[in-house]
Amino acid sequence: MTVSRRSFLTTVGAGSVGALALPAISWRGRENLFAQGVGQAPASRKADRLLAASPGMIRIDSNENPNGPGEHVFAAIRNHLTESNRYPVKSEDDLTSIIAKKHNIVQDNVIIGCGSGELLRASVQGFTSSSQGLVVPEPTFESAGAFAKFIGVPVVSRPVDATLHTDLDSLVDAARAAKPGLIYFCNPNNPTATVHSHADVVSFIDKVNKASPNTTILVDEAYHEYVDDPKYGTVIPLAMSNPRVVVARTFSKVFGMAGLRVGYAVAQPATLAKMTPWLLGSNVSQLSLIAAAATVGNEAHIAAEQKRNRETREFTRKYFEKAGFKVPECQANFMMLDIHRDAKAFKAECIKHKVAVGRQFPALPTYARVSIGTMAEMKKAVEVFTATLA
């Protein structure tokens, strides 16, 4: 089992689930957690990801940054290798301090996670229970929903609209009806790559606060740096004044550090205090903390990555449009488009030609999610798409 009986009982003890539900939830939840996507058996999901990671594969399946973190990060790691024997207390303090400075907030407003994935889980544990569930759009990044099911928390999902945008009014309605502990709102959304303006998000949060005052809204800004829409804006400042808002960020995307596993959450200290008991002490390694600290404030590097992504995304968009496909708004390092055929079969065919694209999302079975690789990778990938979609 991934979660030991002991840690599960700790969860029960903290009031997250009813003890009587333990046996059924352990098994059902285990499947949910590992599958990370409905309709795919755990073993095949793992096999899928291993296949994508095999030598020679163009890996445009997981929204990673193909360029990696950059020489400045490698140099920082090399320079601190000798500190590997120490627990990373000082590095944790350094990183939260740098992040706080970047956002013009204080250190008490920041917590660090083993990827933002750990913080998404901690939010589910900290803000939901068997009677105060989770509300999510569908489709969205499944981690929070899958984990909630795993620990027996009820999950209500609401479909995206016809333009693939998260239906904010529908989430407000769900909040009014279900009085959930948490709403997970990903902006821009994965896998749809659509974004909501700052004004819309502020108004959405206000409506949720009124409809269900005890509901916390977790705004996942994993793809923040890739947004071009001038109406978009982070809600980190709002999280400073509103105790019901948490913002999650990651080093896995624009910073190119998915393998180093660092993320952070920003909120008022009392709000974060509900999440921290669920985190492992010293949850991020010494070298990962040092890597993150070396890059988070490097605006020139961020700008270079944004430019590269924008150009390659545009190349890929033009390819699909020329090939007769409509590409919806894409404000991230991936795009989601209707290929008018089974996305699972498309993926399998591309894999045969050494191109790994995103997996099928059950809510949108004919849509393919294509991450943006390097320009060289995308030039090869579109040749495979041409052959496969012919």
Ligand X SMILES: Cc1ncc(COP(=O)(O)O)c(C=O)c1O
In the three-class reduction of DSSP (H, G, I as helix; E, B as strand; rest coil), residue 138 is classed as: strand
CA distance 185 to 245: 11
For ligand X, the closer of residues 141 and 346 by Cβ is: 141
| 186 counts as binding ligand X under rule CB under 6 A | yes
Reference 371, options 234, 222, 168; nearest CA is 222
| 255 counts as binding ligand X under rule CB under 6 A | no
- Per CB under 6 A, contacts with ligand X among 34-63 are 63
Distance of closest approach, residue 252 Cβ to ligand X, in angstroms? 3
What are the Cα distances from residue 135, in Å, to 16, 69, 74, 79, 337? Answer: 16, 34, 39, 44, 25
How many other β-carbons are positioned within 10 Å of the β-carbon of residue 60?
26
- Per CB under 6 A, contacts with ligand X among 259-298 are 263
In the three-class reduction of DSSP (H, G, I as helix; E, B as strand; rest coil), residue 105 is classed as: coil
- Per CB under 6 A, contacts with ligand X among 290-349 are none
The residue range among 14-22, 69-77, 88-96, 115-123 that interacts with ligand X, by the rule CB under 6 A, is 115-123
Distance of closest approach, residue 65 Cβ to ligand X, in angstroms? 11
Residue nearest to ligand X (CB): 115
For ligand X, the closer of residues 141 and 278 by Cβ is: 141
Binder among 135, 258, 370, 378 for ligand X (CB under 6 A): 258
- The greatest distance separating any two alpha carbons of the chain, rounded to the nearest whole angstrom, comes to 57
The residue range among 114-122, 265-273, 281-289, 377-385 that interacts with ligand X, by the rule CB under 6 A, is 114-122
Contacts of 256 (CB under 8 A, 6+ apart): 64, 65, 67, 68, 69, 70, 73, 305
Binder among 8, 127, 141, 147 for ligand X (CB under 6 A): 141
**360: which 2 tokens?**
């099928």
CA distance 164 to 162: 5
| 256 counts as binding ligand X under rule CB under 6 A | no
Asked if residue 109 lies in contact with residue 89, where contact means CB atoms within 8 angstroms, the answer is no
Binding-site string for ligand X from residue 63 to residue 102, where x marks contact by CB under 6 A and - marks none: x---------------------------------------
CA distance 30 to 3: 9
For ligand X, the closer of residues 204 and 319 by Cβ is: 204
Asked if residue 373 lies in contact with residue 380, where contact means CB atoms within 8 angstroms, the answer is no
For ligand X, the closer of residues 336 and 389 by Cβ is: 336
| 222 counts as binding ligand X under rule CB under 6 A | yes
Binding-site string for ligand X from residue 225 to residue 254, where x marks contact by CB under 6 A and - marks none: -------------------------x-x--
Binder among 117, 126, 145, 358 for ligand X (CB under 6 A): 117
| 220 counts as binding ligand X under rule CB under 6 A | yes
332, containing H or E segment = none
What are the Cα distances from residue 24, in Å, to 8, 15, 333, 365, 373? Answer: 13, 17, 38, 29, 41
CA distance 61 to 84: 32
Residues that bind ligand X (CB under 6 A): 63, 115-117, 141, 186, 190, 220, 222, 250, 252, 258, 263
